[in-house]
A and B are shown apart, each in its own frame.
Chain A
Amino acid sequence: MWSTLGWLIAWLTVIIGWVVVSDQQNHRELRKDRSTRLTDLRAEIAGVEQDAIAFHTADTCDREKALALIRRLSHLTREIALLRRCEYLNDDCGEARVLFRQACTGENFDLNDATFVKQHTESPVVGSIMAARDGLEELVIDSLTHTLTVNKSVWASVGTGYDYVRSRTVPLWRRLVGPPAYRGEESEEDT
């Protein structure tokens, strides 16, 4: 009996150790990916800001550049929505996205030469683009900082391992010995 118990403990230790190492490795990979995506996002925000300022400070209204800016902005805001859904971003940046789009394409953006006014670098239009970029980027930096500084503890990985083992063994056990005599409400494993 003792030898069986020893054998069981040894195998459990091996399995839990494997799950912890594997989970920690997954966490590192995920962190690397998050960090890369958020760094790329910061670069894209800076790029859109540059395009917007270039459009507003040009001598004439360039429709092609305006359409390219709209396209790039759309891509950026959708990317942010996607990253939020994947929980790469801590904040949905909803208000900041709206403010950035408004700053870039709200004023002096009728796409008409007759109404276009060349902006200087200290104009309110350019100033609001810069401010909106800062506001949006700050939220991305918050998420990036969180990604780079928060580690997953070994105990959290043990918890993940426990959940994993439980999710695999409980249904198997139920299949072998049959369902419990009474089930008041459907449990998670059943759904």
Chain B
Amino acid sequence: MSGEKVVDVARDFSRFPAGRFKEDGPFSGQAFRDEVLLPRLRQNQEALTIELDGALGYGSSFLEEAFGGLVRLCGFKAADLLQRLNLRSVDDSLVREIRSYITRAV
């Protein structure tokens, strides 16, 4: 959890991310957003690479809360976020889904 510009979900958070809210478990989307994404995004204005491979997999509820929540609850603008976040995965549908949550979050 240092201030590096790459977040590897499996290494920096958990190989088993699941659930939406903190009440749902220790590795929920809310926990990932608040403990991993927010500190790094607020630390500086540079691009942040998110390495998604390596984790067991992702539920949509986790992804929506973690990434959609940045726009819905934390005051980030969708366009800025899409520019700053560099999402990496061999499963391109994951990237597409996350981008849709950021774009459509209200």
Please give the residue numbers on chain A whose beta carbons come within 8 Å of chain B beta carbons, in ascending order: 63, 66-67, 70-75, 77-78, 80-82, 92-95, 97-98, 101-102, 104-107, 109-112, 114-115
Assuming the contacts A77-B93, A78-B91, A98-B100, asked whether A109 and B57 have C-beta atoms less than 8 A apart, the reply is no
Contact of B57 among A74, A82, A114 (CB under 8 A): A74
In Å, the complex CA distance between A21 and B64 comes to 53
Contact of B96 among A70, A82, A98, A105 (CB under 8 A): A98
Q: Is the CB–CB distance between B23 and A66 below 8 Å?
A: no
Q: Is the CB–CB distance between B18 and A81 below 8 Å?
A: no
In Å, the complex CA distance between A110 and B62 comes to 8
Nearest Cβ on chain A to B48's Cβ, whole angstroms: 22
CB contacts between A and B, total, < 8 Å: 84
In Å, the complex CA distance between A111 and B96 comes to 24
Q: Which residues of chain A come closer than 8 Å to B92, judged between CB atoms? A: 81, 92, 94
Q: Which residues of chain B come closer than 8 Å to A72, judged between CB atoms? A: 57
Asked if B60 is at the interface (CB within 8 A of a chain A CB), the reply is yes
Assuming the contacts A81-B91, A112-B24, asked whether A70 and B97 have C-beta atoms less than 8 A apart, the reply is no
Q: Is the CB–CB distance between A111 and B91 below 8 Å?
A: no
Q: Which residues of chain A come closer than 8 Å to B56, judged between CB atoms? A: 67, 70-71, 74
